[in-house]
Amino acid sequence: GDKVCVQPNCYQTYTVDRQRHHESHCSHPIGPLSPGCQSWLGLSACSGYQESGADRCRTGASQIPYYLVGDKWIPLPSSLKHITVEPAGIWGINKADSIYKYVAGNWVQAAGSLKQLDAGGDQFVVGVNINDTPHCRTRSATVGYKGPGSPLPWTGLPGAVKYYSCGPFGCWAVNKNDDIYLMSNVNRDTCQNNGWSHIDGKLSMIEVATDGRVFGVNSAGQVSTRDGITASKPEGTGWSNIPMCMHMKHVTYDLGRLWVVSKSGFAMVCTH
C-alpha cells in the first residue's frame, strides 16, 4: 500500500504513505537538467502521440528537442524551449517565442508568437502569448499547415492566462494568480466556446491528457489531479493530492504514465 520512489541525488529508494486511491510508482530519473535551463515541457505530448506509449519528447538544457524510443533519446534538429505532440501534431516554440510545426522531418516556422502552446485539442492548437492572451487555431488551419504558404489564422480568446491546455472534454488554464479556469465546448472548426468557468483551487501549471484527465502543480511543488471528469461533467468533482518524493515544477500525463519534473531539474515517470 506504499508508493516507492527514487531519490535522484543518491539513487536510493524509500517509501511514503499512499494518499486516497492515487498510487504511483516512480522510476529512477530519466536524467538531470541544469538548474537554470528550461524544464522538459513536451513530455506529455509525445506520450500521447504514439499509441504504443513507447515514445516521448523532451527538450534538454541546450534546448535541443529529443525523441525517446525505448531507452534512447534521439535528437530532432532545432533549438526549442517547449514542445508538444498530440492529436494536432508536433509543435514547438523557441526562446524567441517563435512557433514551429514538425512537417515531413523538418521544423517549419509558423506565423505568430507564443510563450506556451498545446496540441492536445481535437486537432486544434491553443497557446498563450507574452501578454497572457489565449489563442486558438482551428482544426483546418492546424492540420493543413505545411509551411509559409498555408493559412495560419489565430483566434484571440477572452481572459488572461499564463498556461493553457486542452483535452477531449474542454480546455483548462491558470492565470498569473494561479487561479484555475475551464473552457468547455470549444468548437474545433471555429474556436467558438462557452467562456471561462472558475474552478476551485490554485495551480501554477496545468496539463490535460488525451483521455481527459487533468493534472497540475501548485507553487509549493505539490502535484494534484482532478477527480470525476466525464463528458457530462467536464469540471469534475474535486482535487486529490498525489504524494511525491520531492517538490515538482512540471507534470504531464498520458497512456497511464505520469511524467514529472522536479524543481531541481530531474524528470521521472510514474505509473499507477
For the stretch 106-152, pLDDT in tens is: 888 888 899 999 988 888 899 999 999 999 988 888 877 777 777 66
5 vs 245: CA distance, rounded Å: 6
- For the chain, give me the number of helices (H) and strands (E)? 2, 26
Which residue did the predictor score with more confidence, 161 or 265?
Answer: 161
pLDDT band at 65 (very low <50, low <70, confident <90, very high): confident
- pLDDT given at position 265: 79
Percent pLDDT > 90 in the chain is: 40
**Strands 82-86 and 89-93, sheet pairing:** antiparallel
Per-residue pLDDT at 218 exceeds 50: yes
- pLDDT given at position 30: 47
- pLDDT given at position 151: 66
- pLDDT given at position 16: 30
Of 28-32, 102-106, 233-237, highest mean pLDDT? 233-237
- pLDDT given at position 269: 83
Of 97-106, 214-223, 241-250, highest mean pLDDT? 214-223
- pLDDT given at position 150: 73
For residue 163, the enclosing domain spans 2-271
Number of domains in the chain: 1
Span 17-64, pLDDT tens digits: 333 334 444 554 444 333 222 233 333 322 222 222 334 555 555 678
Per-residue pLDDT at 238 exceeds 80: yes
Task: Classify residue 65 by its DSSP letter.
Answer: E
Residue 186 vs residues 120, 135, 171, 192: alpha-carbon distances, Å: 12, 12, 8, 6
For the whole model, what pTM was predicted?
Answer: 0.77
103 vs 118: CA distance, rounded Å: 17
- Please provide the average confidence, as pLDDT, over all residues in the chain: 77
Of 68-77, 168-177, 241-250, highest mean pLDDT? 168-177
With the CA atoms of 167, 168, 170 and 173 taken in that order, what torsion angle do they form, in degrees rounded to the nearest 10?
-10
Residue type, 66: Y
- pLDDT given at position 41: 32
- pLDDT given at position 268: 83
Span 3-14, pLDDT tens digits: 333 333 322 222
Here the CATH number for the domain that contains residue 51 is 2.120.10.30
Per-residue pLDDT at 182 exceeds 90: yes
Per-residue pLDDT at 205 exceeds 90: yes
Task: Classify residue 187 by its DSSP letter.
Answer: -
Of 86-95, 235-244, 262-271, highest mean pLDDT? 235-244
Which residue did the predictor score with more confidence, 54 or 65?
Answer: 65
242 vs 130: CA distance, rounded Å: 31
Per-residue pLDDT at 272 exceeds 70: no
Residue entry with cell 480546455: 171
Residue 33 vs residues 39, 41, 104, 106, 268: alpha-carbon distances, Å: 7, 12, 29, 25, 12
